[in-house]
Amino acid sequence: MQALGRQATAKVLDQQVVSANQVVARQLAYRKARPVCGSSASRLADGMPLSFDETYLPKELGEKVMADNLKTEPIFSRLERKYSTPLGEAEYQLESRPAADATVATALCIGVRQRDLF
């Protein structure tokens, strides 16, 4: 966003300790149902929502990060700078969906598409 001359910020929507589902457990090399910290946020450019993000971290590290203000600094930057946790690897999974559920629609300030009745 800086390269485009826009101010990047985030609005943290939810942060909590949850049980890792199968996908999260596989990505973190954990067993299923192990506690992890999950967070969701909308990413903004000049105050306009652009994306909805979900991030899962090991519980011990995630609890530290959840106590921080993540409005202006991305989680990964915070991990490296404040917690001296170099990221050897991170995986982003991008999805495009034809319809947003209520949580995502609210975060992005868009309408929820109703399912076709026929």
User: Number of folded domains in the chain?
Assistant: 1
Q: For residue 85, what are its two tokens?
A: 């946790």
> What domain range includes position 59?
2-84
Average pLDDT over all residues of the chain = 83
pTM, to two decimals: 0.76
- Assigned domain for 90 exists: no
pLDDT tens profile 1-12:
778 888 888 888
How many residues appear in the chain?
118
What are the tens digits of pLDDT across the range 64-80? Answer: 888 877 776 777 778 88
Buried b / exposed e over 25-39, threshold 16 CB at 10 Å, is beeeebeeeeebbbb
CATH number at 76 reads: 3.40.1410.10
